[in-house]
Amino acid sequence: MDSNNNIKSVPVFSGTQWEAGMIKNLLENEQIESYVKDGIMASLNTFSSLPGGAIQVKVMVSNNDLDKSLKVINEYKKNVEEEK
C-alpha cells in the first residue's frame, strides 16, 4: 500500500497575504513545502470587510510536516510579540 494515500494538506496559519508570504518563506527555509490558499482572491479583492481591507489567506502544509511547521510559526509569533 502506498503511504502517500494518507498525505493531506492542512492549514497552519491564517492571516494577510503579506503575513502568509512571510510564513511561507520561513517554512521554505526549513525545507518544508507549503502553499498559500486564497492568495489570488486576496489579490483580486483588495477591499473586504476584514480589518485593514485584507482577505484572510491560509498557509497549507502536508500533515506530515505539521509539527515542524507549527514550531516555526510559533517562533515567528513569539518574535513578533517581543517586538511590540
pLDDT number for residue 9: 95
**Taking 50 as the threshold, does the pLDDT of residue 76 lie above it?**
yes
pLDDT band (50, 70, 90) for residue 17: confident
Annotated domain spans of the chain: 10-69
pLDDT number for residue 34: 96
**Taking 80 as the threshold, does the pLDDT of residue 57 lie above it?**
yes
pLDDT band (50, 70, 90) for residue 38: confident
Q: Nearest CA to 12 among 22, 3, 4?
A: 22
**How many C-beta neighbours within 10 Å does residue 40 have?**
12
Cell numbers of 39, please? 492568495
Sign of the Cα pseudo-torsion (18, 21, 25, 30, in order): positive
pLDDT band (50, 70, 90) for residue 53: low
Residues 6+ apart with CB under 8 A from 66: 10, 12
